[in-house]
Amino acid sequence: MKIKENIFGGISVAVIALPLALAFGVSSGLGASAGIYGAIILGFFASLFGGTPTQISGPTGPMTVVIAAALVSLNADLGLIVTTILLAGIFQIIFGISKIGKFIQYIPYPVISGFMSGIGIIIIILQINPYLGLKSNSSIIDTLLLLPSNILSINFSAFILSSATLLIMFFIPSKINKILPTPLIALGVLTPLSVYFGLEVDTIGEISLAIPSFIMPSIDFSHYSTILSLAFTLAVLGSMDTLLTSIVADSITGVKHKPNRELIGQGIGNSLCALTGSLPGAGATMRTVLNIKSGATHKISGMIHSITLLLIVLFLAPLASQIPLAILAGILVKVGIDILDYRFISIYKEAPKQDLSVMLVVFFTTVFVDLIAAVGVGIVLASLLIVYRITKESEISLVDVASKDESHKLDLAQKKIRVIKINGAFFFGSSTAFENKAYAILDTKIVIIDILDVPFMDLTAMFTLKNLIAKLEKRGIKIIILAKEHDKAQLLKLNKTHVLDKVEFYASMSEASYYLS
């Protein structure tokens, strides 16, 4: 382990994590202290117990948006918020123990794209009021509807600070940004100017120097459905955010992360955040990449990052209390802009229409309806489109003559033999087409069902096949199935009603031809 590089990486990340933690804490409604201590607690324990050596965890955009919504839904009851975050942490631990971390890779990209871009837009919209120097509004729709009147009430001092922050973050040369992060430059330059000129703008206010005390979760059965829904949303979003960041870390370092262990580490960290009233979070992509680029290779870098943040809070809290909220709004607007998925946006004209549809549905559902509903709707829609594509590619045909390369020819028409041949997946999506083809062959003596070119069958297809066989046998029609050995074994295993007892199985058309000729 490279001690020096890991220490340097942790300190470097702490510098950029400070303004983001403050901004996310204020934006969530829990306060700047909650954001800072969320970064400290989650960052330390997720690194200690997690499964991605270079991962840096802390407050993130998606988690902050959900907590802001939770404050509104639960009437800012801190006990209920603590319960919600604690349950989210427990859910993540259960996800890890249940070994479902690996399934994150099966979420379709258009779903992730629409979701992340939606989160970016939510962050930008929620910062419009603070950007203008006005009181923040947690409702997306209200913020947009009241925008014309709010512009007339603008606080120009706050607006100038916010705009100056954005200019700094966009136009500071990358060479300087590598040495000193732009959010820190904005805080370090604009906060003293605001104090010096006595600008009348809202500030963070007092940041507690005390170590967070234990907060007892409270249970209110009238809100249990809301709490469970919010907790599950936090757990799923936190897990997605974290494991996607872990995949990014893998691609840079070449070291394979342990997804289930990572989820357990995140769950422990978020549970401890809950019990101290701190803001929960997830693996943070930008901070993780910076950590790796700084030379970090070990989990100690994440713990050093947390210790550094704690020292900054203990010694610099009085200075941080004077930071204008407008500066934090500018920082978060830039965060929202960075979250937008430009990779998908850049190719939207060339993207398949089905994928573009999924992305847009998830995007608008995320922004205007609900975060977890967006992911659920997106996955269901993407799955249905995949089923449709596979079904279109599956070919079910009636064969009237034997192929030329068979050694044993059959005069199918003369012997009243019909062949149903299935090419492609045989599952619930294609079973209806199979049934329709099958009912066109009731005027025959022998039916050969050829499933040799079927890569897989599901239970729906097997039951459809058995139902057809039962109907054909009632009409005195002989059934032959051409199947691979494992498909034959699978069908016979499900032969509880003895429907297949009279069915003959062969491994090829040639073999069937030999016995029928």
Report the alpha-carbon angle 505-511-515, nearest 5.
85
Domain range annotation of the chain: 3-345, 395-516
User: Is residue 96 helix, strand or coil?
Assistant: helix
pLDDT value of position 95: 94
Q: What is the DSSP letter of 453?
A: E
pLDDT value of position 429: 67
Q: Which of 59, 55, 60, 98 is nearest to 246 (CA)?
A: 55
Provide, rounded to the nearest whole percent, the portion of the chain with pLDDT above 70: 92
The yes-or-no verdict on residue 411 having pLDDT over 60 is no
CA 428: distance to chain centroid?
27
Q: pLDDT of 229-243, one tens digit each?
A: 899 989 988 998 898
Q: Which amino acid is at 282?
A: A
Residue 31 backbone zone (phi > 0: left; psi -120 to 50: alpha; other: beta):
left
Q: Would you tell me how many other CB atoms lie within 10 Å of the CB of residue 512? A: 25
The yes-or-no verdict on residue 434 having pLDDT over 80 is no
- CB 483 within 8 Å of CB 451: yes
Q: Where do we find the tokens 């959900």?
A: 66
Residues paired with 481 in a beta bridge: 449, 505
Structure tokens at 87: 């349950």
> What is the spatial distance between Cα 33 and Cα 28, in angstroms, rounded to a whole number?
11
Structure tokens at 90: 């427990």
CA 46: distance to chain centroid?
19
pLDDT value of position 423: 84
Residues paired with 391 in a beta bridge: none
Structure tokens at 198: 């006595």
pLDDT value of position 164: 96
> What is the spatial distance between Cα 77 and Cα 97, in angstroms, rounded to a whole number?
31
395-516, which class in CATH? alpha beta
Provide, rounded to the nearest whole percent, the portion of the chain with pLDDT above 90: 33
